[in-house]
Structure 1
Amino acid sequence: MKVAVCDDDCYVLAILEKFFGKYKNRQEESISRRYFINENELLFYLEEKQDLDIILLAVNTPRIDGFTIAEKIRRKDKRVKIIFLASLIHCAVEGYKYNAIDFLMKPLKYSKFEESLNRAVEQIYEEDSNYFLEKVDSEIYKIYFSDIIFIETYNRNTMIHTSKKDILSYKTLKKHEEVLDSRFFRCHIAYLINLDKINEIKTRDILLENNYSVPYSKHRKNQLMSEITLYYGEKL
């Protein structure tokens, strides 16, 4: 498990380091952590790596605007778990716009820290169960269902478009359909989309996350709308 903490208060960082040590002993969960004292360092790291599972992010400190950072993070990574660190309770309402796991109020208490971290870890393990391995020549990719935006035919192969990168696959769309779950729909003979990634349905195409646009077959529109209604109905 890889965790980042971004806070400009060294005392808070020291407290959290003790909390992580205690958490490891109590939960037997191995956690690799990185500490950042300003937002630029964190954002630079995310541009280079994008391998974090959890981010503890301060809000409304002299050098860190946590909500602005969270917005930038969410543009690139929908999966990473965010826990905000705050001194003022009214910040909590705004924070949940960024799909935050929780708010830790300062002064920090271990019991609340453990509860929030457990919630994040449980979600990660639940999501991690939905993935497949894709072997492409000498490379092997671990692809999470939640990261896939859509898959399309590409020459005689397929291209998997994820939130982080595009991955060539030698499998057919039909083979991908057999592996993936009910959140995926074949909207066109050449496209398989993730219903979670739909932003808008237009007359002839579907707008997806990351500014992608894919066509859909007219004869599949009714089924598309039915699948969306069924899928989101189950989530409500």
Structure 2
Amino acid sequence: MIKIAICDDEKIILECMYNKIKKVTHKLYEDIEIKKFINGNELLVEITNAEHFDMLFLDIDMPQINGFEIANLVRKYNKEIIIIFLTSMDELVYESFKYNPFRFLRKQKVDEELVEVLTSAINSIEKVKEKQNIFNIDFGKVKLYLNDILYIECINRKVYLKTFNIKYKLLNTQFNNLINELDDKNFILIHRTCMVNLKYVFSINKLDIILDNKEKLPISRYRVNDIKRAFTLYAE
């Protein structure tokens, strides 16, 4: 399933965009869910409650919190989500670049540009979804992007997986098997019972590393050089 959120404070435009996106995506992809939000705070509540969206259509000019502010908050913990800005002000296109948008969609050109935008976005999402893994957890199964995993650790022979919002306890999972499976996918073993996604490493110290969410994890002094080398290669 691909999940899309549309946020615009003008109800008429919101309904219009919803209908246009629904019509186009119906022809492009079978399993699509679209949600509408009349203001940015409602959208952020959904996201912080662990709702996962693959694509955001954000009106830039909104009261309370504008599209740029929403994008800035979302980008702090999700670098992969596709953000498409909606606006009637062409002069804002350059300012939008700092939030790494997928597209800048002009409201007056929606009918001309929407098909190309959605086709490209869905193709991009499908490529990312190929990197998903299914994990067994307490209440069934969960499908996660590898890019959403901060780290995986083993405590008292139990394996735990940490995302920005949730810490899962994995069932029927051997930590050593995950080490082998994720070794070439930007994960690095920081000590014998914890491996971290290099994407979210903020800094490396002598005794620990700090992640983008400010969480601090101890590292083995024997692995410090290997960790720094892997981080440098990833950053390059």
**One fold, TM greater than 0.5?**
yes
Name the amino acid aligned to 1:177: I
The answer to whether structure 1 residue 153 and structure 2 residue 154 are counterparts is yes
The answer as to whether partners of 1:149 and 1:209 remain within 8 angstroms in 2 is no
Identify unmatched segments of 5+ residues in structure 1.
none
Q: TM-score with structure 1 length normalisation?
A: 0.87
Q: In 2, are the aligned partners of 1:23 and 1:29 still within 8 Å (CA)? A: no
Counterpart of 1:151 in 2: which secondary structure?
strand
Displacement of 1:231 in angstroms is 2.9
- Counterparts of 1:14 and 1:194 in 2: how far apart (Å)? 39
Q: How does 1:82-231 map to 2 (within 5 A)?
A: 82-170=83-171, 171-180=173-182, 181-231=184-234
* Unmatched segments (≥5 aa) in structure 2: none
- CA shift digits 1:46-72 (9 cap, x unpaired): 334513221100112446511112222
Q: CA, structure 1 residues 29+140, in 2 after alignment: closer, same or farther (shift >3 Å)? A: closer
Sort the Cα spacing of 1:188 and 1:101 in 2 relative to 1 into closer, same or farther, 3 A.
Answer: same
Residue 105 of structure 1 aligns with an amino acid whose one-letter code is R
2:160 & 2:17 partners in 1: Cα distance?
42
Which deviates the most, 142-151 or 224-233? 224-233
SS of the equivalent of 1:218 reads coil
**Which letter maps to 1:209?**
D
TM-score of the pair, normalised by structure 2 = 0.87
* Cα distance between partner residues in 1 of 2:76 and 2:35: 21
The alpha-carbon deviation at position 25 of structure 1 amounts to 4.8
Change in 2 beyond 3 A, CA 1:32/1:175: same
TM-aligned CA distance change 1:110 to 1:178, over 3 Å? farther
**What RMSD over aligned residues (CA atoms) do the two structures have, in Å?**
2.2
Structure 1: which 4+ aligned runs deviate by more than 4 Å?
Answer: none
